[in-house]
A and B are shown apart, each in its own frame.
Chain A
Amino acid sequence: MQTGLEDQLGLYQKRIPIFTRSVKGRFRRFKTSVLVLAYAIYFLLPWLPWSRLDAPAQAVLFDLPGRRFLIFGLTVYPQDVIWLALLLFIAAILLFFVTGLVGRAFCGYFCFQTLWTDFFIWIEHAIQGERPARVRLYRQPWNREKVLKIGSTHALWLLASFWTGLTFVAYFAYAPQLVVAFFTGQAAAAAYITVSILTLSTYAAAGLMREQICTYVCPYGRFQSVMYEAETLAVHYDARRGEAAHGRAAARAGQRTLAERRDKGLGDCVDCGLCVQVCPVGIDIRDGLQYKCISCGLCIDACNTIMDSFSFPRGLIRYDSEKNLAAATPAAPRVQWKRLKTVGYGVALILMTSYLAYSIGTRGSFDRAVNQIRQPLYVVLSNGDIRNRYQIRITNKAGQDQTYVISARGIPANALDLGNFREITVKPGHSGLVQASVRLAPALAAQTQGFELIITPSGKGAEARSESVRFDSPGKRP
């Protein structure tokens, strides 16, 4: 039998709005400085000038039509996709490494969802006031004050979202021109589409959805449990100290000092609820470690403030490990890295980072691809000689025209025929294509398994690169 409970509950659960109380402390200061630094980099970087010969003077420019990324003095071409792959691998391993040591530090301090939500809450706070004022405003009927305050909050959010989107687009075109073109209706359709999508998604994610992104959309919180270990530091409530024998209790007369509370068997938690009020995801940390916790540390700041005001020792809520909390005599919490998983991630990080740095540091000024023509693998010529052909593609990654000289090693000098292109000049960012053919007498061909083609930028002998290629002839099986 249906009981009609659906009617009481409603088919859909409305979001319970969270009004966070602002708090002062170590973690709040850290979060604010990360926010300021990250915003400074994100919003100002596209405007940083950088003089270039062959491209707009913008320090960081992702030049999609030109198929290249310009990052300060470095030019990245599609051929360098391995760098991007490595960078993503490094980012993933760094995430696992840090999570194993200090929990979801990325979520709490660095994730853009956290940063933008923090900024949007700051706007909300600046206009509507502290938590009690915002709760009151939320509950009061729509009147002039509510319309003005809520309206201006949303307007500012939209403005911040719009500038976020516009800044993103500014990384893909010369920023000063783009911004002028954007407001005069001259910019590319892709710019308008990208900016509107980013404006709407930023507004929705940081203004309207907030913690729901972390709880429902982001998969990271769901798999944090496989990256946490007993030694991992995380934001914990010290339940043994806070609850003691008879649980938490308000600091009424007779149970105000530590000594009085010990006598009554009461814990140190005065049940002020401040840790819940400051939480941006609306949880109670005293329920223990949970998937919704983004590990932002604001409850630590809040609890320390209260502990200080009662002259209780700090750290009722603190960064600690499950193992230490469960120990008979808990030691001072510290980062524990002497574990196989952590050391493994650390070694992988060092190896990949050094390889990436090495690869970028020793990059050549050109790219080359030498392919043997396989249809046919070899040709028998009229006098019986064997000819193999090769296609050489040289991509100039330097900033100016460059001439390349092609030579061979391991075969007689006159065997290599480059037709009209013993030298080829390639424009910056372009590719040059040369067909080389190698002709060997049958006896020599039978002995020759392969040889080396050498490409030398003229005037830069040190940058010469060689490519080993096969030489095929009849009767020789690969």
Chain B
Amino acid sequence: MIRNYFKLAWRNLIKNKGYSLINIGGLAIGITAYLLIIQYVNFESSYDQHQPHIDDLYRVTLSTNLGAKGFVDAAATHPAVGSSMKRDFPEVDNYARLVNKEIMMGSFVLSYINEQGDLVKSNVGNDLIYIADSTALDLFKINLVKGNPKTALKEQRSMILSTKVAERFFGDQDPINKTLMANGNIQVKVTGVFDELPENTHLKFDMLISFSTLGTWTETTWNWPEFYNYVRLKPGTDPAIVEAKFPAFIDKYLSESMKAHSFEAKMGLQPVKDIHLKSHLANEISVNSNEKTLNFLWLIAVFVILIALMNFINLSTAKSTERAMEVGLKKVVGIKRSALIVQFLFESVIINLIAAIIAITIISLLISPFNEFVGLHILSLDMWGQLPIWLHIIGLVFLGGLLAGIYPAFVLSGFKPIQVLKGKFHQSEKGTFIRKALVVAQFTISITLIAGTFIMYSQFSYMQNQDLGFDSKHNLILNAPMVVDSTINDKMEVFKAELLRNPNVNVITATADVPGKKNPWYNTTRQVHEEKEVSVICNQFNVDQDFMDTYKIKLLAGRNFRLEDHSYYGFRNPNPPSTNKPYRVMLNRAAVKLLGFLSVEDAVNKKVIFQLGPQDRTAEVIGVMENYHQQSLQNNYDPTLFLYPTYYNASYLTVNINTSNIESTIKHIGEKYEAFFPMDPYEYFFLDEHFNRQYKADRKFGQLFFLFAGLAIFIAALGLFGLGSYMAMRRTKELCVRKVLGANVLHVLLLIPKSLVVLVFISGIIAVPITYLWLQNGFLIMRLELI
């Protein structure tokens, strides 16, 4: 029986080569797209699942209401949290703290003696470096290929490197016990080398420096929420039990600070396994994905498959008349209807099976192009050795086969033999209606997807062409020298003057940050007469008197900084601040509004109080500048307080240059830099490129979306082509009759497309409100209110 089914299925495929091609081709593309998306989604869902004891691993979160504007949930908390939890909570098995080296040392230059014995300076700008507890090696899967995991990060000033970094620094030499020099004066010893971390972890780094390097103050510090605290609970502990103890815990350690600075704090535990998809807190350690985005991709996968299955249903019922004779005759010789249904379902499954085999072949060929396309190592031949993907394939073949086959099977098996054999057989109106409905459904989906893609693309191009509020086109960014001494301020002025002698250099500014990423410095601020409780959060940005000029930011009221205005004494200032020098600050428009001034003019010469470190400081507002986008257009303007530090506190130098002779200008700047700062590497980038990198993830998703939406349309069009050509064939007689009666060629040519175009048009009308609703619900990741 089965053999008979096979034979019939095969002969039918061969007999209708064109339709088989459309059916199988459409399904194969559909299954390919589905499996690719599933692999992508699975990869995104696999983040951190490989960590040991992942079900007991949590990150401590901190919610504070600095100021009266509600709580801010952050991924980072105070350095003393981890060790205190371990001491106070018996449920805590172990803890580890990590802090970005930037928080501790700003920019960072490492120098070392390489294989050839040369002194190499590297500003490690692209490397992720954290200062971490030695227990990180216990909590996370970090595979040490050299060094002892128990001791590697114990000692002060020890560090571990990834294999790639170790090779880059030391070539074939054994890196263990080699010494690196951080910022020219801190010696760090290499005590371990670890395997490159997999891509699917939220916690990526290239180097770890031992936490003990920071000193013992970290064990008692409760006012610096920039440290990532991870805890592992004892196996099977309900996190709610620990969370229930947090209020008392906070009361014990933070109440004094909360009283002094009038804020409240809450803590929580966040499962590490959920961080990548679900966590969108302030101070995330890396850019996380959005679960919604993934669900949406998954939806596309299902749609693509559905469209392909609809093709199958359409074509098989459309062609059912051609098999009517077979059914009629079989019924005459006594076959049961159920046997016919099984036969047709079998054929449907076979077609799905062939499509799946083709899809597997296509995917195997697409491994490296697809990985390159998404920028992640998602596909590999190993995936064919894993069960889940096969479950998907088997599910698709059988469920898809049955789903697509069931309607045609019932239609075909329901033919009345008498009618068929007498030739009085006509296509039912109902069948035609269902086909039309399916075509409309296919195109509604496709048009909606295309509309979504189009909207996303126009948002991208809008964002990239939007006025950011500053000049991004002519700004060259250098890493500010890190290996500095007490002469740096004077040296910097001479360096600036030297650069300005080049006619292509316009103006230079030294700043703590540049637009293109979140400014990590913020604290409470209020008008001088306000109570502490109504403080608001403002970013704090260290600039100098040339900042506004270099970035071409408009002055709205008051005046710009002057050389004598520098007033903020940085953490790195070795000398105590002079008490009688007044602080002078500038605000941007967003800060003026947030602080509650009546107008930009109103803010000038007023006093504000801002917190710096643990202290409140009173300062005079000397001027207000226009807003600019510190981050991508998806973010609002940051209310910002601009400070002009006395002591050198810059991470970047921005050089505004003319666009003519860029090459020689860059070379000239480089020569001067090397001469002035021989211990620092000369590295530079262009601000616009740096800024646009923020859109990389969105653009990637947009491309992915575009690809799969395009495939959906293609499959739907393929089906329409099949249906159209079938209709043309079935209506040959009609077309001939019309020609005999005098119809011209054009008229006959348009007859078939006309009926299909009407369906596509109806789909368009249905797709419009769907697209609109979809935008309303914010399914698209962009914020429309900004546009």
Q: Do A and B bind each other?
A: no
Q: Which B residues form the contact surface with A (CB < 8 A)?
A: none
